[in-house]
């Protein structure tokens, strides 16, 4: 049922990506290099995954190349980056996936962050395709309201590979401990969910129904997104508040057709108001996010309520977490998250409160070896995802990962519905 897709926004948002901090460090290094002249960096990455749950099959055999150039002079900085993918799994398991999935995922080229930075007095301006991250928590999307995401591999990829940049104009102003930010997105990007029949397609189609092509709004001024964010430090607390008016990056599945047996993905206008907080208590770091959303619609499959099978619901998303050092240069990250629905319509198939928890363990195993375990569970539905992995830093340039993705629990839950997607995988990455 499509209400599961909306529920996934609660559960999947919290999936932790330990590479997020590393991505921030890389961005800083590039900014420093820009002041010294042009610099080119890149990665070559190879991902292979074998789904061992029946039916057993190869689910990924992808080669990825990403190239970034950055530089600047006379107060202007620039960045250009692009990514190319080729997935041989569609040749290895010819016929396993529908043709629409193959056309969507076999080959792809994306323009990544490509922008100009300059200053106008005390205001810093960035124009172009860029990441705009408003969330504070590691691995959370609740307050990361501006970003679109590539969800064709669920929320399993690392953060810097999951996010889709937005074409935006951003202005930032700093005064003392206060930071003000204005954002305008004239041509929005949206979540990529793939095609029906893909490994992690989020919509479970009822028997006898089909999915139409996604309808994206026209690129007009009326369909642009905009928002503002204000952040400040108070007594060691990093606090922020934001307002964002936008077309939803996530799809809403409208029930269409003469017999109501077809669905059409669209994007509705929504409003999100929220805030974040973070506090360093020496070795402990406390973080939290709170987001109120208005205008988002949920599926009911009850045409008597509405011919399009949807009802609007206002919600409050929240998340709290603590980061604790442990083990050998390792850490423990604990998080609690949830969504509360106001004036709940029971026809959408959700509880008034849908909540969950996650735990991430990370530790050094040897000089060049690192171990991780991530466990995430919805508390009421008891479905779960378990992700153990071992990371080998073979050299400064080479990183190799061996891991597994295991899903289980209630088949109607966010993770339980992928119980036939259990897989083992390896990833090899060369950075230059």
pLDDT score of 307: 83
Which three-class secondary structure state does DSSP give residue 33? helix
Burial string for 260-292 (b: 16+ CB within 10 Å, else e) reads eeebbbbbbebebbbbbbbeeeeeebebbbbbb
Residues 79-95 have pLDDT tens digits of: 999 999 999 999 988 78
* Cis before 55? omega within 30: yes
> What percentage of the chain carries pLDDT values higher than 70?
91
pLDDT score of 74: 87
pLDDT score of 18: 35
pLDDT score of 301: 67
pLDDT score of 130: 98
pLDDT score of 36: 56
Tokens matching residue 314: 């206002």
Residues 171-187 have pLDDT tens digits of: 999 998 999 999 999 99
pLDDT score of 280: 93
CB atoms within 10 A of CB 63: 14
Tokens matching residue 295: 């205008």
Does residue 242 or residue 205 have the better pLDDT?
242
Does residue 9 or residue 142 have the better pLDDT?
142
Which three-class secondary structure state does DSSP give residue 256? strand
Residues 328-349 have pLDDT tens digits of: 789 999 999 999 999 999 888 8
Tokens matching residue 363: 């530790």
- 196's CB contacts (< 8 A; 6+ apart) are 98, 100, 101, 203, 205, 210, 211
Sheet holding 252-256: strands in order across? 210-211, 262-266, 252-256
List the end-to-end C-alpha distance of the chain, in Å, as a whole number.
45
Backbone angles phi, psi at 67, to 5 degrees: -130, 135
The pTM assigned to this predicted structure is: 0.88
Does residue 332 or residue 160 have the better pLDDT?
332
| Rg (the chain; Cα; Å) | 22
pLDDT score of 229: 98
∠ CA 245-251-254 to the nearest 5 degrees? 110
Does residue 64 or residue 207 have the better pLDDT?
64
Residues 143 and 232: their CA atoms lie apart, in Å, by: 16
Q: Which of 172, 157, 158, 160 is nearest to 126 (CA)?
A: 172
Average pLDDT for the chain: 89
> What percentage of the chain carries pLDDT values higher than 90?
73
User: What domains sit in the chain, N to C, each tagged with a CATH number?
Assistant: 3-33+60-358 (2.40.160)
Residues 380 and 353: their CA atoms lie apart, in Å, by: 9
Q: Is the pLDDT assigned to residue 119 strictly greater than 80?
A: yes
Q: Which of 142, 144, 141, 161 is nearest to 153 (CA)?
A: 161
The alpha carbon of 230 is separated from its chain's Cα centroid by a whole number of angstroms, namely 23
Tell me the pLDDT band of 69, cut-offs 50, 70 and 90: very high
Q: Is the pLDDT assigned to residue 188 strictly greater than 70?
A: yes
Residues 396-409 have pLDDT tens digits of: 999 999 999 999 99
Residue corresponding to tokens 């926004």:
9
Residues 20-29 have pLDDT tens digits of: 333 444 444 4
Mean per-residue pLDDT for 355-381? 93
């Amino acid at each position: 049922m499509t209400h599961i897709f909306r529920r996934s926004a609660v559960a999947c948002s919290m999936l932790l990506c330990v590479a997020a901090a590393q991505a921030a460090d890389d961005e800083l290094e590039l900014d420093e290099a820009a002041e010294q002249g042009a610099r080119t960096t890149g990665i070559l990455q190879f991902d292979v995954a074998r789904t061992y749950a029946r039916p057993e099959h190869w689910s990924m055999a992808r080669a990825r190349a990403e190239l970034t150039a950055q530089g600047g002079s006379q107060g202007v900085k620039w960045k250009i980056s692009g990514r190319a993918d080729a997935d041989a799994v569609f040749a290895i398991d010819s016929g396993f996936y529908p043709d629409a999935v193959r056309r969507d995922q076999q080959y792809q080229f994306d323009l990544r962050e490509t922008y100009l930075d300059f200053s106008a007095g005390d205001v810093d301006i960035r124009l172009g395709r860029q990441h705009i991250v408003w969330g504070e928590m590691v691995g959370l999307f609740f307050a990361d309201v501006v970003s679109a995401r590539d969800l064709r591999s669920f929320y399993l990829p690392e953060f810097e590979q999951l996010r889709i940049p937005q074409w935006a104009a951003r202005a930032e102003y700093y005064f003392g401990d206060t930071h003000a930010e204005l954002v305008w997105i004239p041509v929005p990007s949206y979540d990529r969910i793939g095609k029906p029949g893909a490994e992690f397609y989020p919509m479970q189609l009822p028997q006898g129904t089909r999915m139409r092509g996604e309808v994206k709004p026209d690129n007009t001024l009326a369909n642009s997104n905009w928002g503002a964010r204000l952040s400040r430090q108070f007594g060691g607390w990093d606090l922020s508040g934001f307002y964002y008016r936008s077309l939803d990056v996530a799809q809403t599945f409208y029930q269409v057709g003469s017999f109501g047996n077809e669905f059409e993905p669209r994007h509705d206008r929504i409003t999100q108001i929220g805030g974040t907080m973070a506090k360093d208590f020496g070795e402990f770091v406390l973080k939290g996010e709170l987001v109120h959303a208005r205008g988002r619609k949920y599926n009911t499959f009850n045409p008597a309520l509405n011919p399009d099978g949807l009802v609007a619901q206002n919600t409050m998303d929240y998340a709290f977490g603590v980061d604790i050092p442990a083990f050998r240069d390792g850490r423990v990250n604990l998080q609690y998250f949830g969504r509360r629905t106001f004036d709940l319509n029971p026809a959408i198939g959700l509880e008034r409160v849908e909540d969950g928890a996650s735990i991430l363990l990370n530790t050094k195993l040897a000089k060049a070896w690192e171990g991780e375990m991530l466990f995430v569970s919805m508390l009421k539905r008891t479905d779960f995802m378990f992700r153990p992995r071992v990371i080998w830093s073979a050299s400064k340039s080479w990183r190799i990962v061996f891991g597994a993705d295991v899903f289980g629990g209630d088949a109607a839950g966010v993770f339980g519905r992928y119980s036939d997607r259990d897989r083992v995988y390896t990833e090899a990455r060369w950075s230059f």
